[in-house]
Structure 1
Amino acid sequence: MFESVTSPSDLVALARANAALVRRAEADTLLIAYEWAIAHPAAEDGRDAAAFHCALGIEPISGDGTPEVNEYAVAELGGALGLSTDAAKKLIGHALELAHRLPRLWARVTAGEVPVWRARLVAEATIHAYPALPAEGVAWIDGQVAPFIEKMGRAAIDRLIERAMKLYGLTTAEDDDAPSDNRHVTLVSERDPFATTMQVHAELDIADALDLEQAVAAGAAGLKAAGCDESLDVRRCLALGELARHQTALDLAGVGSPSEGASDETVERTTARRVDLHLHFTANVEPDESISFGATGQLENRQRLILLEQVRRWVAASHTEIRILPVVDLNASLATERYEPTDRLRRQVQLRDETCIFPHCTRPSRRCDVDHVIPFDHDAAGEGRPQPGPTTTQNLATLCRGHHRLKTHTAWHLESPVNGVFEWTSPHGQRFRRDRHGTTDLAAPPLPH
């Protein structure tokens, strides 16, 4: 590639040419997603239509009036593109939204004139606008953004959505006058797996914020009086941690509320709360038969590394409840004659797999079903036949509910040649290997040298 590059200008030209190729390839991928969706419609009653399942119910993958897509077809396209099933749903939904409800923007994107990611920002906003925009409102947005999409960011798109809602009567004067509620408490996902701290961002009611400020300041002062020589910022952090472990206000759950005739002094309050942290450390047997632990382990709840020294500090602190579960050997072979795995067997499989074992899926194993790779035959024992799908370590795997249904009701085929290694074959012949290290596309062409 670089044999003909002789100057910085050549590098600039090469970069521009490659950028154009990438834009064209991304537009073609969007077109492929659309054609795939049209080729795999949902049933007329919509029972098998692809959708997002969330805490608030079911959300469609694209706006009102767009074709529904068979949910079982999504995973095949996701596998071909190296995407999770949810990411493939988003891609297909955006393609349908652009083609059917944002046609001017669709024309520019498919012509390679604008980056796909900008158009997908608009599609995501119109799909999930609440209240839902009518077709006329989406068409108005299409007319506004299509000529100027190169200059628009997410904030400008959100302002257009808000204006469209006002133009089409989806907001009232009361809504316009009402202040928006921006209160939140957010634990920021860590960027560095070796970090021993986490960021907490919050926006509180003024009275709540002032109360918190006073409580943190008092806690920091108390720590200093007790001999803590840390900086003020560190003492404030320590005080906030103490607030998290102590209940200093009314117990809203009713625990410790006063009974009739009890005085304030006799009210029993909850003094600590338990937070379950699933920690995994490697243990080694030393020559003198003592047991040592590695300096770093894994905090399973947030998939991050943690220092053994930090855990020791937690254990030494007051008001900390420690619960140690039995060690589960991931290399052992466990079994039961029942259909349902035992608690120990279930936990072993969850720890081994870590996530749903479908290609590219990242849903944590604790939120998955534990399924038989070879189906369990409920009639085998009664008919005197050997069990073809025993409930054993080697024949169990964790699957999220959507991929469990996919395995059960479609032509996707699963095998497990080795304990903890899973090989999938799709209805169209794609093959993937999945283990605790991720997904390998067995049909992918080798990379050029």
Structure 2
Amino acid sequence: MPYVLGIDIGSSNTAAAVARRRGATWTRPEAVPLSAGSPLMPSVLCLAEDGSLRVGEPVTDDGSRTTRDFVHRIGDDVPVLLGGEPCAPQTLTAELAAWVVERVHALEGGAAEAIVLSHPAGWRPYRREVLHRALSDLGLRHVTLLPRTVTVAESHAARGFAGSTAVVYALGGNSFEAALVRRTPRGTYETFGTPQGLDSIGGADFDEALAEHARTVLARELAATGRRGAQAALRGLRAECDRVKRVLTVDLTADVVLTLPSGPARVPVTRAQFEAMIRPTVQATVDLLLRAVRSADLTSAQLDGVLLAGGSTRVPLVTELIGAALPVPVEVEPDAQLTAATGAAMAACQVVSPRPRQPPPARVPAPVSGAGRATLPAPRRAHHTVPGEPPPRPPVRVLPLELPKPSRLALARGRGREG
């Protein structure tokens, strides 16, 4: 069955989604299982001893043959060293994208009619150009690059968000970005204003806050186990804290459990304690969100909502602080880690089947003091447009995409993590 593909390569995980053609319409995007039992694949590349490039977390590695978070270094002239070999960040990102394309090709039994790959909203044209070049070198010549904030908006729109102007709050594992989006006459979205972001803030900070708390509480027990015993006990602490973080999104209490030589050790954590640990980090992201809104001289009354993406946005404190700062509807999807990928698939549908132009939606007049009502002014587009806004979407492509050619690094991408 003909299909299109959306890919989101984040700082921590990579996700993909496909939408299939059904007559004149497209099905709702479905996540692709990139690893055993999960739609998420760690955005990690490991150079194996045999020269092959493995995707996902390596089983054993001293760190010199593994690289992660290379997407945010695209455009940097300093290469990434992988097993002593210099590699351009955009080449590594293209290798990971090509691995996803090949895996989906094998699962679907054919090539995608269109591919959309998300990227950080703050990218200038140079970064998009070098990534396009790297993708083309691997045979992926017809990939549309769209800001992640746009693909997030597309996903929310597919689930029923009907607003014309919104601000996107995307919290990744090790990065954060916020940007204004607005609906175009064709019903798609574009960014405007000045995107805000930080590559040093993300959901991993929430996990580390819990981990530090557990290490402090169990300091005496860990010291009694000796250095090797403590290292063994702490090896899975970050994964355990990620689990506890997710539990605390729905429960008021949870236990961080560590296995010590003397037996299991439990550190009870309440939601209130956890929120106190992460409040400064969350507040910093909300401040950036407000800065993105102010960059276009908008007020909360001119926004139709805040659209969330990223697994950690399901933490109740996130929506609480956003709601206190911007009294507008806050939207989060059931699996927020897949929002950008599913939105990229929705955008890929529009690459193949562009929507007809639509008249601009009428804004609902907002109340003002006194007996009268006034209509809010439209955002001032020309003055606040970001330099290098996303290019127009490509025309219809009726030929299937070419399969990627072998990398110039002579690395075998097809041997991803098994099991």
TM-score normalised over the length of structure 1: 0.20
When Rg is computed on C-alpha atoms for both structures, the one with the higher figure is 1
- Structure whose residues are more often helix by fraction: 1
Using CA pairs below 8 Å that are at least 6 residues apart, which structure has the higher relative contact order?
Answer: 2
- Structure whose residues are more often strand by fraction: 2
